[in-house]
Amino acid sequence: NISIPNDIFESFDINFLRDLGYDQELLRVLDFKSLLGTGVSNTSALPGILLGFTTMVTQGGHVGLTWGFGVAAFFMQLISSCVAEICSEFPAAGGIYFAAACLAPKSCNKIFAWITGWSSFFAQASFTAAANYSLVKIVFSLIKVSGVVDSTSPMYNQHTLVGSVISQAFFFALMLLCALATCISVKNTTLINNFGTVFNFLLLVILAIMVPYKASLTPNGLNFSKAVTNFDSISSWNYVVAFMISFSSAARSFTSLDAPLHMSEETVNASAHCARSVKMSTAINFLSGIIISILIAVCLPSDGSLFEKPDVEPIVAFFLKIMDFPSAVALISLACLSIFLLGLANMASSARASYAYARDGVLPKSPLWKLVSSRTFSPYGSVVLLLIFGLLFGICAEILKQLDFILMFGAIAQLIAFAVAISMRLYAGNSFNPQNSNLGKKSMYIHSLCLLFIALMIPIWCLPHNLKKPYTAFQGFNYAPVLYSILMIIILVWYAIDARKWYNSP
């Protein structure tokens, strides 16, 4: 084996990026291990399951946690292979946005790049907001059940004006902290991501030991047969639809699977390392997600007690149900840190993607959002933009009192962006033959299967989660597809009227 110095790869990467039409503005210092840590942190299954726990349990019950997560994660693993193959030839921060423009027909590559870029941007702007808003709800639930404060006080009730203001202030503080942490150097950012990867692994080990042990001491005990056979959904939909809606948790866990691609302009030997890290990080979290979902399903009570207190998050009620209070508080606190690290990792990778969109003039006032720090080489302009959009998502979720609103919005937006890129790959056919991460003769079949999965799931995720509630009630309607449709209609009208005259695709 011949060892090639990194500076040779770095010189090649810079020249290759110049051939793609861009100058090297970010600092290229990441190796494969750092990139893999970034990928694993962005698609971490443990906080992803904690975020989507309510949807998985209400829609799919025990089966939603085991089979639902497993089936959806399998398809997301296939999608990661498709994305890795597509983008391996285009190691630019734009990721699927850049690849879609290059693979689309010359006559309409601008519109496909425009749709992919904006859909992906909306998804990425929601990722950190979803993690932090969920964190706020869990913390408020923990405060209420702790007995330290008066649980009837309006200060700790998010349905009151005072409670909403306090929760939004906490949410704003978390978003600001993520933004400030993203503005540090990329080396320090990857150190935080690597810490998050190790922390989530250790937390997984702790949960694998404590949750079954504590649950075995309760009257319900452990029930392995229910974990794989009991469809105790409380949804108003029929079994098939409810089971497919429960997929959203797994999909949300993996929607930022393209995060390593956005770090490609900071990676040495990007063409090989980025594609490998996309597939490996998804595979690692696929396996860890299967373990944690089965563990929770085995210990999950079937009596509906997790939903007795509407002001207490079901994931908090779950830990309190199966173990003593100090142990539950300790694990929930560790879970909160895991969720925060997920949001931080999401913002770091999303900032690079938004920088790429601004660099091509996709975003309004692009010169502001593509600014890069001369000291840390971080794209602080795009961080500010993500912070603004994240705060807006948090305000919308607080008005609607729906965490699922942000989760579903991100899943729908990102999978539509993936669908456009995969469609362009199918259009390119055999004329596209990447040297890295080539799926071989089965490539077209795998891409087609992934496209069918996305086409099936998007309409399912647009459905309201509870038919019993009237559509006029905020809590009874799924507003995620409504907001996404409105935003994309505005973007397409803007393109038709004005943007098509000056926007140049990558």
Q: Give residues with Cβ within 8 angstroms of 473, minimum separation 6.
A: none
Through-space distance between the first and last CA atoms of the chain, rounded to whole angstroms? 37
Tell me which of 74-83, 134-143, 347-356, 470-479 is least confident: 470-479
Q: Give residues with Cβ within 8 angstroms of 29, minimum separation 6.
A: 186, 187, 266, 268
> Is residue 127's pLDDT more than 50?
yes
| Structural domains of the chain ordered from first start | 26-501 (1.20.1740.10)
Check residues 321 and 465 and name the one with the higher pLDDT: 321
Check residues 303 and 134 and name the one with the higher pLDDT: 134
- pLDDT tens-digit map of 441-457: 888 999 999 999 999 88
Q: What percent of the chain stands above pLDDT 70?
A: 92
- pLDDT tens-digit map of 32-88: 888 888 888 888 888 888 888 888 888 888 888 888 888 888 999 999 999 988 888
CB of 214 closer than 8 Å to CB of 317: no
pLDDT number for residue 467: 54
CB of 236 closer than 8 Å to CB of 466: yes
pLDDT, average across residues 460-479: 63
DSSP 165-192: HHHHHHHHHHHHHHHHHHTS-HHHHHHH
CB of 260 closer than 8 Å to CB of 274: yes
**Which residue in this structure is represented by tokens 């087609």?**
448
Check residues 301 and 249 and name the one with the higher pLDDT: 301
CB of 39 closer than 8 Å to CB of 277: yes
- pLDDT tens-digit map of 163-210: 788 889 999 999 999 999 999 888 888 889 889 889 999 999 999 899
Q: What percent of the chain stands above pLDDT 90?
A: 31
Mean pLDDT of the chain: 85
pLDDT number for residue 492: 95
Q: Which two tokens stand for residue 490?
A: 């505005």
> Is residue 421's pLDDT more than 80?
yes
pLDDT number for residue 242: 82
pLDDT number for residue 170: 93
Check residues 341 and 504 and name the one with the higher pLDDT: 341
Q: Which two tokens stand for residue 229?
A: 């056979």
Helix, strand, coil: what percent of the chain each, to 5?
75, 0, 25
Residue 500 CB neighbour total at 10 angstroms: 12
Q: Select from 377, 400, 409, 404 the least CA-distant residue to 480.
A: 409
Q: Select from 224, 243, 226 the least CA-distant residue to 235.
A: 243
Cα 170 from Cα 166, distance rounded (Å) = 6
- pLDDT tens-digit map of 29-46: 888 888 888 888 888 888
pLDDT number for residue 8: 47
Query: pLDDT band at 470, cuts 50/70/90?
Result: very low
Q: Select from 344, 390, 387 the least CA-distant residue to 41.
A: 344
Q: Select from 368, 322, 305, 316 the least CA-distant residue to 145.
A: 316
pLDDT number for residue 472: 43
> Is residue 465's pLDDT more than 70?
no
DSSP 343-365: HHHHHHHHHHHHHHHHHTT-STT
pLDDT number for residue 1: 41
Q: Which two tokens stand for residue 377?
A: 């080489």
- pLDDT tens-digit map of 422-442: 999 999 888 887 777 788 888
pLDDT number for residue 3: 40
DSSP state of 380: H
- pLDDT tens-digit map of 230-258: 777 777 778 888 888 887 767 777 888 88
CB of 281 closer than 8 Å to CB of 81: no
Cα 412 from Cα 410, distance rounded (Å) = 6
**Which residue in this structure is represented by tokens 């999950």?**
300
Query: pLDDT band at 391, cuts 50/70/90?
Result: very high
CB of 13 closer than 8 Å to CB of 268: yes
Residue 15 CB neighbour total at 10 angstroms: 10
> Is residue 17's pLDDT more than 90?
no
